[in-house]
Amino acid sequence: MSGISLATRLPWPLLAAAATLVGAGLAGLARGDELYGGSVMPRQIVWTALGAGAVVVAAILPYRRLKTWAYPLLLLISVLLVAVLFTPPRNGARSWFALGPLTFQPSEFAKLAYILALSRYLMSARHHRTLLGLAAPFALTLPLLLLILKEPDLGTACLFPPMLMAMLFAAGARLKHLALVCLLGVLASPIVWREMNAEQRSRITATFRQRDGGGPQRGDDYHLHQSKQVIALGGVWGSDLAGMAVAESRAYQLPAARTDFIYCLICERWGVWGAALTLAAYLTVIGACLNIGGRTDEPFGRLICVGVAAWFGSQMVINTSMTVGLLPITGITLPLLSYGGSSLLASCLAIGLVVNVALRPGYEVGGRPFSFAAGPR
């Protein structure tokens, strides 16, 4: 591939938007260091450099070779998700392996392994176009879902149903079958509620009993109260231009500000405009993934793009909605923004795979969805 061809095929809007989000995340972490002390931004800069390398590596190797490794990778991740349940708990969850001063969170990479495995299955199978045929994709999803819920990590678990439904739709599953599955999920919600622990239930009920104004709340109400307050303190222009809204430092206190609530720090630092531009960058990433998938003739690559778009889109919606009280607080990060090496590396690998697909259009498609009419270009 010549240099000119490579430059024209590179998805520049995707790369620019992803770089913007990483930069915004670093700025938010810098603000967190100012407000809460410590110094996590230098470590995140190191992870950012490694993430940039991950994008390059994921873009270089032809993604079609991953078909062979899709199922083994999912099996490896599943083994790690079982093993992590036997590690000492951190913050009430068993989600991380301690590797000296570093930690590794397998559930972050489970999202990527799941997309590869499901893409591998859906690209060749036709059974998912019948109601009974949906059993296999759901059987592929359920073990990961249960293992991640066992940690417990409700936020990450919430990402798998949207990814599954989006990829099934892209692969040609019938809308009436998907609608029936969604209806069954709604009807099963009382059973899910009964199986939740007290903390998970409290996070949901806190969404319905929230009130604005007044002093700090307690428990899960405190997280939500402080989250909305820190966002409000940013105002229209943010503290970078307008200065600190109040002198009382307690008003800015926010648990998990550098991870789950990084969006609040972005809003506080840059106000309404910074918040809107951050969302616009995410929409650009999602739109670019869907655009690349739509222009890709090879089904495996197309499904990868749809899966990544659903991953980033659902995670962005869940995280930003919980910070303003529209959804329960589930403990989920923002891809490319939040502090954490596992989250950033997994997100960068996903971006690299989409770039990979953009560089290699794939196969011609026949009349039926995902039927091959010609060999590789």
Give per-residue pLDDT as tens, 179-194: 888 888 788 778 777 7
pTM: 0.90
Inform me whether the pLDDT recorded for 123 exceeds 90.
Answer: no
* Dist CA 167 CA 173 (whole Å): 9
For 66-96, what is each residue's pLDDT tens digit?
A: 999 999 999 999 999 999 999 988 878 889 8
* Dist CA 110 CA 195 (whole Å): 23
* Dist CA 143 CA 78 (whole Å): 8
Q: Is residue 373 part of a domain?
A: no
210 vs 136, which has greater pLDDT? 136
* Dist CA 226 CA 206 (whole Å): 13
162 vs 199, which has greater pLDDT? 162
Q: Is residue 3 part of a domain?
A: no
Confidence of residue 201 (pLDDT cuts 50, 70, 90): confident
Q: What's the structural domain count of the chain?
A: 1
User: For the chain, what's the residue count?
Assistant: 377
For 272-329, what is each residue's pLDDT tens digit?
A: 999 999 999 999 999 999 999 999 888 999 999 999 999 999 999 999 999 998 998 8
Q: Is residue 364 part of a domain?
A: no
Q: Is residue 37 part of a domain?
A: yes
Residue 103 forms beta bridges with which residues?
98
Residue 93 forms beta bridges with which residues?
90
Domain carrying residue 161: 23-359
